[in-house]
Amino acid sequence: MQHFDIYDRPGWNSFTYTYPHWGGIEKRENGRVVIRFDTADATAYNDDFYFRHYREVAMVSDDGCRTWELFQPDWSHQVPLHVSDGTQLEVVQGRDLVPREVQRRRVKDLGIGHVWRDDCRLAWDLWPRRMTDALREQGLVVWDRHGTWLPDDVVATHAPSGFVSRRSSDGGHTWEEAPVCSLDDFYHVGPCFPGSVVLPDDTILVPFYAMRRGAEPPSRFTLMGGEIYVLRSQNGGRTFQQVMVGGGLPDTHMSEVSLAVHPSGRVVAMIRNPELHCSVSDDAGATWSEPRPTGICDALPMHAIGLANGTMLCVAAHRPAPGGIRATVSRDAGETWDVDHPIVLRDDVIASDYIGGPGSVQLDDGTVFTFYGLVHPAPGGEQPHGYIAGSIYEV
């Protein structure tokens, strides 16, 4: 097993802890591998809701993931999916398509223009704190914790803004946009586009999780009762069907999802929970089994892939001490997981909630490459310093 650092920007936290939402990895022709991750100014707000100074980072390797170079992303929002006819596809939230100038004017008109920077990222909708009660009266769930998350006079909401498909048939030069589905029944939605797959017959499966609206919205944001869905397209992403994964488990914290394809055609969905759950589909994502616990604990965020020999591999951040990155395999297409023999990629990291979710690909020689976000203590800082590293190993 080989380990190496990939990217470390002094004074900035580089991270993959949002991997199921924003990260990405892709193996291209001739063995080229592309990764996408994020970096933010460590001295400013940089956590989930609001990044005062932010940058997307894309890197490429042409030597089996041993060395890496920065490159200009050849996508708009996410590392796109590819269909056999050359079509490229992204599925994004509507808020991600709001022009920067419109975002700037909105916070200025609300009286919180001080949050704006030309290189900021507003991942949630920000509001002045004085509007908290009014927002809750509208049925919105308000994040009002501050400290490292938000300025003291600002709160955040994340009302679903709808999914939009973006298709390109000319190599990414131009894109066609179309609404995918209504999200009016939910008060919070988490897209998991990096966990998407394209099946051998070009069926596209894009997972997401959602919190359904109730008679009374929760007073605090929670993932309790999350429902898991897959957006399914059989026409190259022109239209989608919304498919529920299982019947919903109201007493669990279901959230982020990663899909993987077994050589038999079975699709395996790994679902974030205090104990990872697994659901499978044997009809190209049209129906799914009820999610079942896997025995994999303290494993979040995570990413799963199917290997050429039929082994299913789920790699996850291990945030309790000793912190690091661990992997678990299934040799029966997701029916059971070998929790007694975890593959320890790293166990040399301080315990931290900022250890980042990994992304993995199988290389041409059969080995696996996984990249991830690690941390080490930052003098005087509430957050540890984050950087990007990777491992190459056999399974």
The predicted pLDDT at position 167 comes to 96
Asked if 311 contacts 267 with a C-beta cutoff of 8 angstroms, the reply is no
Q: What are phi and psi of 115, to 5 degrees?
A: -75, -15
3-class DSSP state for residue 47? strand
Q: What is the pLDDT of residues 179-216, one digit of tens each?
A: 998 888 888 888 999 999 999 999 999 999 988 877 56
- Give the residue with greater pLDDT, 152 vs 213: 152
Distance CA 371, CA 118 (A): 29
Which range has the worst mean pLDDT, 171-185, 194-208, 305-319? 171-185
Q: What is the pLDDT of residues 277-286, one digit of tens each?
A: 999 999 999 9
Distance CA 134, CA 141 (A): 11
The predicted pLDDT at position 217 comes to 59
Which residue in this structure is represented by tokens 């898991």? 228
Q: Which two tokens stand for residue 118?
A: 């030309």
Asked if 54 contacts 121 with a C-beta cutoff of 8 angstroms, the reply is yes
Asked if 387 contacts 350 with a C-beta cutoff of 8 angstroms, the reply is no
Distance CA 223, CA 332 (A): 30
Q: What is the pLDDT of residues 245-302, one digit of tens each?
A: 987 666 677 889 999 999 999 999 999 988 999 999 999 999 999 999 999 998 889 9
Distance CA 332, CA 310 (A): 8
Asked if 368 contacts 307 with a C-beta cutoff of 8 angstroms, the reply is yes
Distance CA 47, CA 158 (A): 14
The predicted pLDDT at position 224 comes to 63
CATH C-level class of 2-77+183-393: mainly beta
